Structures are given as C-alpha cells and as structure tokens.
Amino acid sequence: MAYEKEVEVGVEAVLSAAKLCQSVRANIPDSIEKEDRSPVTIADFGSQAVICRALAQAFPNDPVVGEEDAAALRSSKMSEQLTQVTEYVKQQIPSVSTDDVTQWIDHGNGEASGRFWTLDPIDGTKGFLRGDQYAIALALLEEGDVKVAILGCPALSLDLAPPLDEQGLLFIAVRGEGTRVRSLSKDDYNAVRVAAPDDDEHLRFVESVEAAHGDQSLQNAIAKKAGIKSDSLRMDSQAKYGAVASGAAALYLRLPSPKKPDYRENIWDHAAGVIVVEEAGGRTSDMYGKPLDFSVGEKLFQNQGVVVSNGSLHEAVLAALNEPS
C-alpha cells in the first residue's frame, strides 16, 4: 500500500483526537470566541495538539496547515482554558505540559507548499456543541494533489450495511487505492462506493445545517432539476462527504451565499472529504465544473462553490447551475 506510514500515523492520531473530543463533549464546555466570532472549544485545541504532535514526530519536515493557533490560549485571561486543554490532552499523552500543548497547536501554523498536511481539528464546531455531527479532517497534499485522507466522524452512523450502521466512523482514502471505512472502536475495514445511478432509495442530497454556509434555496432548486425529489438532509461538517462516499446520499452542494458572493472556501474544510468521495467512485468540482485547486494557499482562490456527487448526477447538476438566466 502506498503511503503506509502516513496512513498508520494519521489513523492513530485521529483516533486519539476523537477520544479526546468525545471526552470533552461528555462535559460540553462553554465556547470561547475567536476574532471572527465563530465558536471554538477546548476540543478544537486539544484535537489539533494531539494530531500535530504525532505528525511532527513522524514527519518532522512536513508542514501542517491547521485551523487553530495558540495565541489566544497563551493570554493570561485564558489560563483556565489552557489548563483544561492540557488536562484533556494528558488523557491521551500522560506526560505533557502547557508549553508542550501550545507548541503542538502552533505546529499547525505551517505554509501550504510542496508536501504538507492540512487539518481541521473539529469541522462543524456548532454541530459538536449541539450534540450533532462533526468531523476530524486530516489530509496529506503533494503539489496541490490530495494523496491521503483520514476523516473521523465520531457521531456518524448510516442506515446501511455494517460497519456503517455503527455510531462513530473513520474513512481512509489513498489516491489510487479506494476508500475504506471502519468503526472507531474496531480495526475492521470495508471498502465503500458511491450510490449507483439506479439507487433511487439513496437519491438524496446533503447540505449544511447553517443557512449562512450556502444558498439553500438555490441548492434545493438545483437538486430538483438534477432529479432529486426528496428534501435535503442537513448535516454539519465533512460528515457530508462520508455520506456521499458510502452511498447514503448522492449529492452534496455548497453554493455561495448571496450575502457572500465572493467567499472562498478553506482548504481544510474540503481536502479530506474530496479524496474520500473521489476514491469511492464519486466526482468533485466547483460550480463551474473546475477541479478544486488546493495548490494556491489556505483557500480555494481559483474556485467558487463546491459540487460533490456520485458521478452520474454531476453533469446534470452543472448544466442546471449554468443555465442562462
């Protein structure tokens, strides 16, 4: 198997981070706010610390582009939160100091160039706080191409064959080698595939819970034009990619909100999910059919919107999106 060490290290790191996140969620913390006022929890920082430590030890020359940094945690007004983060990290790594934790978090402040990892330590923080879906999304990129992904979805279960019907799933994808899934608790892997064109039962689409994340009215209209009759399934985080990859849904749309027409997506919000779907037989692009370009920094500056499908629906969706108005 290609990238065997990367997969081994990534899987163990994401499993450890998932345990930390579930431990935090059992005692739902107060959220704290970053400068952009999006919620971030003790679990975000702890998850990034645990994963970055593992990557730094195994691949010291690989930068990590993560969502969080420890600047706020180092301030005196957040000393209590830093202590909490450290205590949760100690459950996974017993010998650790607050300095260790902040250094590991800041290992995620690397630059997106050449070979690097990108990490969203908790994708879907609002879902995490609500007790709904969230994901731990880790991907390895080389020259802009996603090569490996480990996508942990601790709250996800799908009404399909085992192990997908167990709560807590881990998707692993390697370029050219397909997508596998296992439960968080059992080291048994199964290959997954996207929904077949004639699988009417799973001809449905997923979109974000948060209305601000996209144009939900347009997304529903496009899905109907592509032949999907059922209402959308709203789900937080890159768990949506897992739903498409496994055949539980056939389409995921994230189209720009009218209030933010020039918004560009962060790479850590999509890199892991993209390869998980593509290696399961699906297709991804922006709303104009262009491949998602991960080679130009921390955002998808060359793309607008995201379309993820089982493949057979993709051209119909793009045609509907680009109909003359």
Say which DSSP state 77 is in.
G
Tokens of 5: 């060490």
Residue 179 is a catalytic residue = no
Chain centroid offset of residue 16 CA:
16
Quickly tell me which residue has 């301030």 as its tokens: 75
Q: Which of 41, 44, 123, 286 is catalytic?
A: 44
**Torsion of the alpha carbons at 152, 268, 282 and 291, rounded to the nearest 10:** -170
CA angle 74, 26, 57 (to 5 degrees): 50
Tokens of 270: 């999509």
CA angle 117, 133, 32 (to 5 degrees): 75
Say which DSSP state 299 is in.
B
Interhelix angle for 98-106 vs 42-58, to 10°? 80
What single letter denotes the amino acid at residue 194?
V
Instruction: Judge contact between 170 and 11, C-beta under 8 A.
Output: yes
Q: Which of 41, 86, 102, 125 is catalytic?
A: 125
Residue 284 is a catalytic residue = no
Catalytic residues, which ones? 44, 125
